[in-house]
Structure 1
Amino acid sequence: MSDLDQLTQSLARNLKRWRGERGFTLDALATRSGVSRGMIIQIEQARTNPSVGTTVKLADALGISITTLLDQEQHVTVRLVPPDRAVRMWSTSTGSSTTLLVGSERGGPLELWAWTLVAGDESASDPHPDGTTELLHVTEGVLTLVVDGEPHTVPAGTSATFEANVPHAYRNDGETTTAFTMAVSVPPVR
């Protein structure tokens, strides 16, 4: 079984499990997430690989991290994630990408991401649930962080934090590659 097939199977199994644990019907999850009922059925039956945006919407609606939707080893004391087990969630033909490095559910979903944006690339995100915080640290180049329509220049060596319950985007307006690490903290479902 390929890595993509394993990822698809884990997502199907975990989405169905968490939807059941939350007591959400297909219609309730569709309403909470903005993802169609048909798409949720396809994901739960491992018939499709959803986009990052769709996966984020489902995780947010369930109050869990993307890691939980994709991972099989949630109940260990120490979990090591070697580079070949990190999950590439988004990439472009020009070389931009984002990789989910590791995540945890304790105290609410917490995720650690590695980003690379080549010159001219951008990735936009829908608002996350209220109380979601993103922290990032630029290690290379200059990032243009756009939060609720307002751009912020974040050069290498600089960190930023913001409430991510508004539309936001990560953009490379420069001429060289931008790299940054990002942590996302989502409040638990109440």
Structure 2
Amino acid sequence: MTRAVAQGVRTARTAQGWSLDTLAARSSVSKGMLVLIEQSRTNPSIGTLCRLADALGTTLARLVETSESPPARVVRAGEGVCLWRSEHSAGQGVLLVGSEPPSSLEMWDWTMYEGDSHEGESHIAGTKETVSVLRGSLEIQVADKSIVLHSGDSAVFAADRTHTYRHTGQGELRFVLAVAQPQLSP
């Protein structure tokens, strides 16, 4: 995955004709971190990747994609890219597939266990996230509001502010997540 990210960031940056300094200034990601990313020497956080994608006018899915896009892209079981791993359990967030600009949609598969949580950074203005719980109980904290979803429940919310996903039950929590961003401006 680090090689795919390195290639994706380098390709998008050079396509813009930008130096590392320019991308650092536009993304609020340090030049040192960019060097590490482009040299495949670090595995950046989801938040860092989102800031880079926003600055480059591309999608997160495009940054981590390992091949050119055919007319129809199929992602087989097990081929998604794991971009979040729990520090406490076998929990993970896997980016299954994403669409291309001008607007973008990402599909995620999340698994969490007791004590797991993930704090999401603000996306670009107008971004919405749709969540559907397949198994377990999920608490979503958006701004000062807390929503608890149980197996079979779904919700949509504005994701252009910080938000947190938290496992609130016992056993395994499984949910699917769609992130819809409006048209990216160049």
Check whether TM > 0.5.
yes
Q: 22-31 or 86-95: which moved more?
A: 22-31
Rounded Cα–Cα distance in structure 2 between residues aligned with 1:91 and 1:47: 18
The equivalent residue for 1:70 is 64
Q: Secondary structure at the match of 2:78?
A: helix
Give identity over the alignment, percent: 38
The equivalent residue for 2:137 is 142
Alignment of 1:4-153 (within 5 A): 7-92=1-86, 93-153=88-148
Structure 1 residues 128 and 51: alpha-carbon distance in aligned structure 2, compared to 1, 3 A threshold: same
Structure 1 residues 151 and 29: alpha-carbon distance in aligned structure 2, compared to 1, 3 A threshold: same
Rounded Cα–Cα distance in structure 2 between residues aligned with 1:103 and 1:97: 18
Q: 16-25 or 94-103: which moved more?
A: 16-25
Q: Secondary structure at the match of 1:78?
A: coil
The equivalent residue for 1:178 is 173
C-alpha contact (below 8 Å) 2:59/2:101 kept by paired residues: no
Q: Which of the numbers 145, 153, 162 marks the counterpart of 1:158?
A: 153
Q: Secondary structure at the match of 2:93?
A: strand
After superposition, the CA RMSD in angstroms is 1.7
Rounded Cα–Cα distance in structure 2 between residues aligned with 1:146 and 1:132: 16
The residue identity in structure 1 corresponding to 2:11 is R
CA deviation vs aligned residue, 1:111-137 (integer Å, no higher than 9, x gap): 100011112211001111111111111
Rounded Cα–Cα distance in structure 2 between residues aligned with 1:142 and 1:75: 36
Number of positions where the alignment pairs a residue of Structure 1 with one of Structure 2 = 184
The residue identity in structure 2 corresponding to 1:104 is S
Structure 1 residues 31 and 108: alpha-carbon distance in aligned structure 2, compared to 1, 3 A threshold: same
The equivalent residue for 1:168 is 163
Deviation of the 1:35 alpha carbon: 1.3
Deviation of the 1:81 alpha carbon: 0.9
Q: Which runs of 4+ in 1 moved over 6 A?
A: none
Q: Secondary structure at the match of 2:168?
A: coil
C-alpha contact (below 8 Å) 1:64/1:108 kept by paired residues: no
Rounded Cα–Cα distance in structure 1 between residues aligned with 2:169 and 2:12: 41
